[in-house]
Amino acid sequence: MKKILVFLSFILLFLIANAQSNTSVIKITGTKFPFAIMQKWIDTYSKTHPGVVFELSKSIPLDSADLMIAAHAFKPRELKDEVTIVAVNRYAQLPIVNSNRIDLKHLQQKGFTQQDLKNIFFADKENKTDGLNNPFTIYKRNKKVCASRSFAENVTGCQLEIYGVGVTGDDRSLSAAVKNDLNGISYNNLGLVYNIQTRKVADSIAVIPIDINENGAIDSGEKNYSTLDSVLDFLYKTKSTKIPQENVNVVFNKNNPNKAAIDFLKWIITEGQQYNRVYGFLNLDKSVAREEQAFLNTILKNNNNTVSVKNE
């Protein structure tokens, strides 16, 4: 009997050790606002890949993370030689004001041109007004983060500093600051501008439309901001670059990648795209998705053998 118990204990330890050896851990950190959809991807992927364990946290050190979310474009030579990026989806940003602003109706009828956005967010002027002597209190992140960089580069073409009052916290703090200030104005991604459950603009804030044809008025074809789905459809239809948009990128080590993490990225680019709309994100263009898929296949093929080169 004793020998049987010892044998069973040995078998149990063997099974536990074998299960542990078949477990892959993927550590993810970086820009926080895509965390909600990343968690959705993780939860869905885990149902069919029980051997993969995920850690998603801002507190994970960059040098120990397998994947780092970076929601801005990279300039040549900005990345270290050993790392590369893939795009996993896209996001858009819109200007927001307090919904009780006195001149809200006028602003929504007129909209903002690219020059208006430059004058409001980037011109170093005190007591900025909207043309009717109503002041703006501009709120920005108090740190140089992905969304701020993307907004600046999309509006001005340069990595300029946004003028205004810096707020602590994450991107939710921008909306909170506008809600608490009748003259407040800021910018935010669609997942925070809109309530993703009701699909309507979040309480206490209002969207100022972008005057795409810049004729000084929001025409009937430009009135597409009442719901999250209407603005997403508008973005797909027009493909206008006047509404700030950028890729959500993931940075990883191309010389020694985590194979499980690469497989996860391949799934996001294909199966995971179906969840983008729910969270206020845009799908990758099909051609881009194919390119990213092919690149990841090359990374896997060359794993630990040769260096794959991209975006350098």
The sign of the torsion formed by the CA atoms of 28, 175, 96, 190 equals positive
Structure tokens at 286: 């099909």
Distance in angstroms (rounded) separating the CA atoms of residues 56 and 44 = 14
What pTM value is reported for the model?
0.88
Q: Give the alpha-carbon dihedral of 46, 51, 55, 60, to 10 degrees.
A: -150
3-class secondary structure, 183: coil
Q: Which two tokens stand for residue 19?
A: 């299960």
Q: What pLDDT score was predicted for residue 20?
A: 43
Give the 3-state secondary structure of residue 61: coil
SS3 state of residue 185: strand
- Judge contact between 240 and 199, C-beta under 8 A: no
Of the candidates 249, 235, 239, 237, which has an alpha carbon nearest to the alpha carbon of residue 193? 235
256 contacts 84 by C-beta, under 8 angstroms: no
The predicted-structure confidence for 46-65, as pLDDT tens digits, reads as follows 999 999 999 999 999 999 99
* H or E segment to which residue 98 belongs: strand 83-98
Q: What is the DSSP string of 222-268?
A: G---SBHHHHHHHHHHH--TTS-EEEEEEEEESSS--HHHHHHHHHH
pLDDT for residue 13? 42
Is 221 in contact with 248 (CB distance < 8 Å)?
A: no
- What domains lie within the chain, and their CATH numbers? 91-238 (3.40.190.10)
Identity of the amino acid at 155: V
With contact defined as beta carbons under 8 Å apart, do 207 and 213 qualify?
Answer: no
CA distances from residue 264 to 54, 100, 186 in whole angstroms, order as listed: 11, 44, 34
pLDDT of amino acid 77: 86
Residue 312 token pair: 């350098």
Q: Which helix (H) or strand (E) holds 15?
A: helix 2-21
Regions of the chain short of the pLDDT cut 50: 5-20, 305-312
Half-sphere CA count of 223, side-chain side, radius 13 A: 8
Coil, helix or strand for 297?
Answer: helix
| Residue type at position 123 | A
pLDDT score for 124: 77
Residue 131's pLDDT is 63
Using CA atoms in the order 199, 201, 203, 207, what is the torsion angle rounded to 10 degrees? 170
What's the length of the chain? 312
3-state secondary structure of 129: strand
Three-state SS for 118? helix
pLDDT on residue 123: 86
Q: For 163-175, give one letter per residue: b (16+ CB within 10 A) or e.
A: ebeebeebbebbb
Are 55 and 25 within 8 A, CB to CB?
yes
